[in-house]
Each structure stands twice: as structure tokens, then as C-alpha cells.
Chain A
């Protein structure tokens, strides 16, 4: 699946997007974030406070409990500050 990162999460990870294949034990957005934290220092830094991480699956907001099965695109980003 494709992951997208925005704002300071993008800066900390060091890339705007990437393709990943998480193991089958990763079934929710929250578990995906936990799995990403183990991928290196930059990910641990980006996701050190999972409570502030917001997510969208296929361009629709979801909660951390949302299942990722079938998702084409998952975006992870900080709280929004538009307007």
C-alpha cells in the first residue's frame, strides 16, 4: 500500500510518500503507526506521540481503530491547521 506523509511528519520521516508491505499482524491504522516506529530513527521521531497523528484512508478521515485491509492509500499527518 501507498503511504503519504504531510507537514512535520513528512519532514521527520524525510520523504513525502512510499510503498510499504506491512506484515499480516498489522490490521489497523494504530498498529501501522506502531509498526512504522520500528523502521528507524526518523520514523520513531515522526511517530513518537501517536495520539497527535491523524489518518486518512483513500482520502477520507479515519480513526486509529480503522482497518487497513483493502486500503490503496493511507495518509498520516498532524492535526490540520488550514483556513
Chain B
């Protein structure tokens, strides 16, 4: 598992290829990229600014990767999330998953993305022609995460 939070542009091809390098047991590679849109609800978006909770963001993503690894037979996971200023067309997040067969990689990638949207401590601010505004959480994202059932992590002392 590799979880990275970065201010720099993300290369999804490199993240995906790294999962299959020097091994021959990988039969499926699934990579999801979340991309910054230039329009939201009719307003043009000049840029997004992503804020995160350092330390918790990495830990929370890692906890969900461990949960995914307990649910599906995975051979590798790499997640890269960008923070700071991001302009339309640039990638915000990449989730790459490797497994022997496609079902596990597809499912785990969707699970991880649904959790990341609602549980990982990141916040988006949009720059619009009317000024900056914080993005509101979507109910559809809450609905998406519920289909995976209960995931609870206890506080470690």
C-alpha cells in the first residue's frame, strides 16, 4: 500500500504501472482519476483549492485500504491525493488497484473512492467569478458510501 498527499501534478499511468512492475501475478489493474471540472452548477470554476488535515488524511485513507484488503484479494493499492491549487483539467486524486482478477480491483477501487469522498479529511474551495466558496458535501456521495455497509474503526490508544 502506498498513500501519498502531494502539491504536485499526479501521473496516473506511472502510479498504475508501478503496481505491476517486477511481478507476474497481477491480472487486473484498475485506476480511477478524479479530475477538476471547469464548470459546476452553471458557474465557471477558475481553480480549486484543496485543504487537508495532515496526518489524519494519510491515516484515514490507510485504514480504508486495510479494510479493502480484508474484503478483496488485492495485490497492491496506490492512492495519490493532491492538495493546494488545482486548475480545471488537472487530476485531483488517483486510486490504482491491482488484483489477479478484475472483480476485486473494480470493486475495491469503487469502495475506496466512495469512502474517500465522505470520510477522508479534505475540503475543496472553488474560485468562481462571484468569489471563492467552499464546496458542500453531496447527499449522493453519502448514499454511495452506504451501499458498502458498516465500517468502524476504534480509537487506538
Please give the residue numbers on chain A whose beta carbons come within 8 Å of chain B beta carbons, in ascending order: 4, 6-8, 56-62, 75, 77-83
Asked if B71 is an interface residue, CB under 8 A from chain A, the answer is: no
Whether the Cβ atoms of A6 and B118 lie closer than 8 Å is no
User: Of all chain A residues, which has the CB nearest B48?
Assistant: A81
Given contacts A59-B59, A60-B155, contact A78 B117 (CB under 8 A): no
Known: A7-B125, A75-B56. 8 other contacts (CB 8 A): A56-B56, A56-B121, A59-B56, A59-B60, A61-B119, A79-B136, A82-B124, A83-B113
Please give the residue numbers on chain B whose beta carbons come within 8 Å of chain A beta carbons, in ascending order: 34, 50-53, 55-57, 59-60, 81, 92-93, 113, 116-125, 134-137, 153, 155-156
Shortest Cβ gap from A2 to chain B (Å): 12
Measured in the bound complex, the distance between the Cα atoms of B59 and A75 in whole Å is: 14
Residues of A contacting B125 in the complex (Cβ-Cβ under 8 angstroms): 7
Whether the Cβ atoms of B113 and A81 lie closer than 8 Å is no
Measured in the bound complex, the distance between the Cα atoms of B54 and A56 in whole Å is: 13
Whether the Cβ atoms of B59 and A81 lie closer than 8 Å is no
